[in-house]
Structure 1
Amino acid sequence: MNTATHASGAPAASNKIPATTKVAIAGALPLTIVFLTLVLAPLILTLLLSFSQYDFAKGIQPGYTVAHYWAIVTDDYFLKIFWRTFWIAGLTTLFCILIGAPEAYVLSRMKKPWRSIFLLVVLSPLLVSLVVRAFGWSMLLGPHGAVGAVADKLGFGPLLYTPTAIIIALVHVMLPFMVIPVWTSLQKLDPTVEQAAYSLNASRFQTLFKVVMPQAMPGILSGSLIVFGLAASSFAIPALLGGRRLKMVATIVYDEFMTELNWPLGAAIAILLLIANVIIMLAYNRVVERSYKRSLG
């Protein structure tokens, strides 16, 4: 009997790796090395730094401690800043959904060339430096700016260096990250499905929430996660529009590293921000996915 076959006559399974698989592994290896070098290595080093001992007179000392984490979770000052960061990020995400989802729906129904023009308008904030946009909003929302002066006359008080100013600027910056995922999801929706719903005597409200919204939910979910994560870790806008007294987590990380020179404490705050972000985003993802599955069922 041929040694290349089993006793049953079936060809023996080859243990050789296919050439296409070898090419895929070889192509993925450089990207894996880059990922490990640029993402995981700094994260691991930051994690190790957060456990380092620190002396205000001598700097970083040998040995490891959890005192920095304990100081953060037991200090009302840090807890208030974490709470302020997350509710500002949550409101920013909510406003981006309320503004971005209708924009994406309008964009998906536009014809050429208006679709390209409108898409360029949506993406135009990304073409300008974040710092420049933050300075622009600081001038608009300041006491002598167009928006700030009108708000002051209407009795809203000064807007600059308030959470309102931070939320307004963050919504402006983060809106494209909501519009594009929702628009991509709505591209899969056949317009004839809406027409079929209308032919079955469904109202516009029913068609919007029973036909369009389920299709847009994956885009809303992914956009919400992107917006929340970026807003919670934003530095330039809170630093320029919040001032020195209205702190967010990213600004106190900067202060600990650059002003106080307490690198272990700054690293511990950064790690806790990352962990809290991941927990909140995973919980939000699970809640939205369950609601989405129930709406489909």
Structure 2
Amino acid sequence: MADSVAVSADVRRSHRPWFGNPTPWLLCGPALLLFLGLLLIPLLLTAVLSFSVYDSTTGTGEGYTFAHYVEVLTDSYYHEIFLRTGGMSLAVTVLCVALGVPEALILSRMRSPWRAIFLVVILGPLLISVIVRTLGWAILMGNEGLINSALQSLGLISSPFKMLYTMGGVTIALTHVLIPFMIISVWASIQKLDPSVENAGLSLGASPLTVLRRVILPQIMPGVLSGSIIVFALAASAFATPAILGGRRLKVVATAAYDEFTATLNWPLGAAIAILLLIAMVLIILGSNYLVERRYHAVFER
């Protein structure tokens, strides 16, 4: 009897609301303070700066205004920049999904030591400085670069194919550096799969393609979704690669905000561009997450 009373008391304590127990707050306190200090406070200051009054002769002044947001939201110049950034980020995400998911599946079926070797090769782009890596792509994509020289020597093209200072070149370079994030995310989901489920599908007469489509892909979809979110966010906020490979005329949102901060010294307008980019990314990510989860819940409930 006493044992049952003690067990029931333990159960009640284990189901106590977390907000009534100060221990989790105390344990999370240092990390929460670090998060507030390094992320939320700078974002809050940037948001406040975006409402500041600006004059070309005196700079940032006292008072607040919505003029910078109105300028960005109504000017077709910034519409084109935001659309270009969204299209580039979407293209990079699609390429990373198309290339990263098969790579992760192949990597999961490799044996040691080949798995470790190819994993290092895949993570290689993350081990190189972004400037060095981007300059390497600039050398490869130039009119006299290795790619054009090889294609001309093979007789496939008669004149250099323009890749530098184009959106295609920027997309290829960003895919190269961001695809490891997709592979790592899918790899984490693959590690949770039960091999017996796949073997059961094959033993029941399903083809390998059917097992891949009906068994494996639905189970690794959380990894694909999380990898897509990471890749899309990093591509939309990328600065060095679009600035070097895209040049001054092919602007994206990050380079446009940078130009407002450094060239025109219009810090409030640059802050407004950055805040609008953040809002757009959050809305797109939450919307895509909702649509994908809704679709797959409907599939599994059938």
Among the aligned pairs, what percent are the same residue? 52
8 A Cα contact 2:261 2:267, kept in partner:
yes
Tell me how far 1:150 sits from its aligned partner.
Answer: 4.6
Report which stretch shifted further, 23-32 or 221-230.
23-32
User: Structure 1 residue 63: deviation in Å?
Assistant: 0.5
Contact 2:122 2:180 in 1 (8 A): yes
Secondary structure of the equivalent of 2:54?
strand
Q: Which residue in the other structure is 1:35 paired with?
A: 35
- The corresponding residue for 1:71 is 71
Shift of 1:23: 5.1
SS of 2:63's partner is: strand
| SS in structure 2 at match of 1:112 | coil
Contact 1:214–1:296 (Cα < 8 Å) also in 2:
no
Q: Is the 8 A contact 1:178 1:220 kept in 2?
A: yes
Out of 203, 210, 213, the position equivalent to 1:209 is: 213
Work out the CA distance in 2 between the residues paired with 1:151 and 1:133: 22
Q: Gaps (5+ residues) in structure 2? A: 1-8
Verify: 1:145 aligned to 2:145, yes or no: yes
1:227-280, Cα deviation, whole Å (9 max, x unpaired): 000000000000000001100000011100011100000000000000000011
- Aligned CA RMSD, in angstroms, stands at 2.1
* Partner residue in 2 for 1:221: 225
Residue 294 of structure 1, CA deviation:
2.6
Paired residues in the alignment total: 283
Map of 1:2-17 to 2, 5 A cutoff?
A: none
Describe the shift of the 1:38–1:96 C-alpha distance in structure 2 as closer, same or farther (beyond 3 A).
Answer: same
Aligned to 2:91: 91
- Structure 1 partner of 2:6: none
Q: How does 1:241-252 map onto structure 2 within 5 Å?
A: 241-252=245-256
* Equivalent in the alignment of 1:282: 286
With the length of structure 2 as denominator, give the TM-score of the two structures.
0.89
Cα offset, 1:192, TM superposition:
2.2
State the match for 1:7 in structure 2.
none
| Partner AA of 1:101 in structure 2 | V
Stretch of structure 1 that moved more, 117-126 or 257-266: 117-126
Classify the secondary structure of the residue corresponding to 2:123: helix
Measured at CA, do residues 82 and 259 of structure 1 come closer, stay the same or move farther in structure 2, by a change above 3 Å?
Answer: same
List runs of 5+ in structure 1 lacking aligned partners: 1-9
CA contact (8 A) 1:142 1:149 kept: no
Contact 1:97 1:224 in 2 (8 A): yes
Comparing 186-195 with 48-57, greater Cα deviation is found at 186-195
Determine whether 1:112 maps to 2:112. Answer: yes
Judge conservation of contact 2:148–2:160 (CA < 8 Å) in 1.
Answer: no
Match for residue 293 of structure 1 among 275, 297, 301: 297
What is the aligned partner in structure 1 of residue 102 from structure 2? Answer: 102
Contact conserved, 1:214 with 1:295, CA < 8 A, in 2? Answer: no
